[in-house]
């Protein structure tokens, strides 16, 4: 068996190497294009070997550096608080649902399913968040609505049922542990791989989120990073599509704007933190993929 694997090793290495290149090269291209000059992009298109280099894309984006820093703070807040809240509340619910001897478990399970299958729609969601909870222009709107995820709750419940032995819970109870103690001291530590995997996915989701910010946040100082960068990109697109309504200054600004390299610089700014964080979560992520497949 070992010999067979060893003889296939070079082929596997080549195949995996090609797959890695397929994944990595576009990222490298993005970085290179962000440092390419407009003339080079115009004459040669996107290439790994630009005829001339330039920082103009980054310089253009850096005009918004103050706003970008502010938006980074907002996005980090959304990612950290949103993820922690989701993990905390969802895992609590999942633990409660995993107790089959609790009388509310069947009712809450069906209640959960209904909310997953039937949505009230965007308008009702908007009315509830703005008129009932008054979350318009409030940073809580970025973290509260996602604090309970039904899908993640079902995964966590399955994980607890299949990985935490009933005998362990019984033993803890016999030692005098209450539900809260049990949850924080026994269940949560055992859920670490599951929490890390789902937490990472939730963090990526929060990091990339812009729709909520766009709909509910009007104060520019509270705009998330994705929203800000989308606005920078879109405002240029918008101006290009509406040239007939532009002033001289606007047209001049458009002429000098390095649109392609700027786009790539924006991509680098948004991708960077996730690319850096990913390797640290990778081991949990792989475990997490199999979490939902275990039957409980």
Partner 1 sequence: MRKRSNKLIAVLLAATIIGGAMTGCGSNVEPKPTEPSSSEVKETPGSVEPSSSEEVEESLDPVHFVVWIAQAAGSDDKIVEKAFNELEELKELNVTVEFKTTPAGDKFDQKLDLALAAKEDVDIVLGDFGANAYARMRNGAYADISELLDTKYTSLRDTLLPDHWTNVTIDGGIYGVPSYKESSTHAMFLVQQSVVDKYNLDLSNRTVLDLTDVLEALKDDGRATFMLKYSAMSYLRDAMAEINHIKLNRWITSATYEDPRTVVNFYETDDWKELCLQTREWYENGLIASDILTKENFTAETNDENLCGLIYTQGDYLSLYAQKAARGMDLAELQISPDNYTVAGNNYNACVTTTCDDIDRAVAFIELLFTNSNVKNMITYGIEGMHYDLVNGQVDWTNYPDHATAWATSNTKIGNVLISYPPVGYPEEGYALYAEYAKTARKSPTTGFVLDTSNITNEINAVKAVEIEYVNMLACGVVEDVEATIAEMNQKMYDNGLQTIIDEAQKQLDAWWAAK
Closest CA to 199 of 91, 71, 73: 91
Q: How far apart are CA 76 and CA 206, in angstroms?
A: 9
Q: Which is nearer to partner 1, 122 or 275 (CB)?
A: 122
Q: Which is nearer to partner 1, 70 or 105 (CB)?
A: 70
- Report in angstroms the alpha-carbon separations of 244 from 234, 251, 264: 17, 10, 27
Residue 128 per-residue DSSP state: I
Q: Which is nearer to partner 1, 59 or 218 (CB)?
A: 218
Write down the least CB distance from residue 74 to partner 1, Å. 8
Write down the least CB distance from residue 32 to partner 1, Å. 15
Write down the least CB distance from residue 53 to partner 1, Å. 16
Write down the least CB distance from residue 10 to partner 1, Å. 37
Q: Which is nearer to partner 1, 109 or 130 (CB)?
A: 130
Q: Find out whether 86 and 152 touch, Cβ atoms under 8 Å.
A: yes
Say what the alpha-carbon torsion angle 183, 184, 189, 190 is, to the nearest 10 degrees: 0
Closest CA to 129 of 113, 145, 105: 145
Q: Enumerate binding residues for partner 1 (CB under 8 A).
A: 38-39, 41-43, 45-46, 63, 73-74, 77, 80-81, 84-85, 88, 122-123, 126-127, 130-131, 134-140, 143, 184, 214-215, 218-222, 230-231, 233-235, 237-239, 242-253, 255, 259-260
Write down the least CB distance from residue 40 to partner 1, Å. 9
Residue 23, sorted as left (phi over 0), alpha (psi -120 to 50) or beta, turns out to be alpha
Q: Which is nearer to partner 1, 158 or 213 (CB)?
A: 213
3-class DSSP assignment, residue 53:
strand
């Amino acid at each position: 068996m070992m010999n067979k694997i060893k003889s296939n090793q070079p082929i596997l290495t080549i195949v995996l190497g090609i797959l890695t290149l397929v994944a990595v090269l576009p990222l490298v291209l993005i970085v290179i294009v962000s440092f390419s000059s407009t003339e080079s992009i115009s004459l040669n298109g996107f290439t790994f070997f630009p005829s001339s280099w330039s920082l103009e894309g980054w310089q253009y984006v850096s005009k918004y550096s103050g706003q970008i820093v502010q938006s980074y703070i907002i996005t980090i807040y959304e990612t950290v608080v949103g993820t922690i809240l989701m993990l905390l509340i969802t895992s609590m619910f999942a633990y409660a649902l995993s107790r089959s001897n609790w009388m509310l478990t069947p009712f809450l399970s069906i209640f959960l399913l209904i909310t997953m299958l039937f949505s009230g729609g965007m308008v009702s969601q908007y009315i509830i968040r703005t008129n009932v909870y008054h979350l318009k222009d409030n940073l809580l709107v970025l973290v509260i609505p996602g604090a309970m995820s039904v899908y993640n709750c079902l995964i966590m419940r399955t994980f607890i049922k299949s990985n935490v032995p009933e005998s362990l819970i019984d033993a803890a109870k016999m030692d005098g542990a209450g539900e809260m103690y049990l949850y924080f001291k026994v269940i949560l530590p055992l859920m670490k791989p599951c929490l890390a995997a789902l937490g990472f996915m939730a963090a990526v989701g929060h990091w990339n989120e812009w729709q909520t910010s766009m709909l509910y946040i009007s104060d520019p100082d509270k705009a998330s990073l994705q929203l800000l960068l989308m606005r920078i990109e879109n405002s240029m697109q918008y101006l290009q599509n509406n040239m007939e309504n532009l002033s001289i200054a606007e047209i001049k600004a458009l002429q000098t704007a390095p649109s392609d390299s700027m786009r790539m610089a924006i991509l680098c700014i948004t991708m960077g933190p996730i690319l850096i964080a990913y390797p640290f979560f990778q081991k949990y992520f792989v475990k997490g993929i199999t979490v939902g497949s275990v039957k409980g």
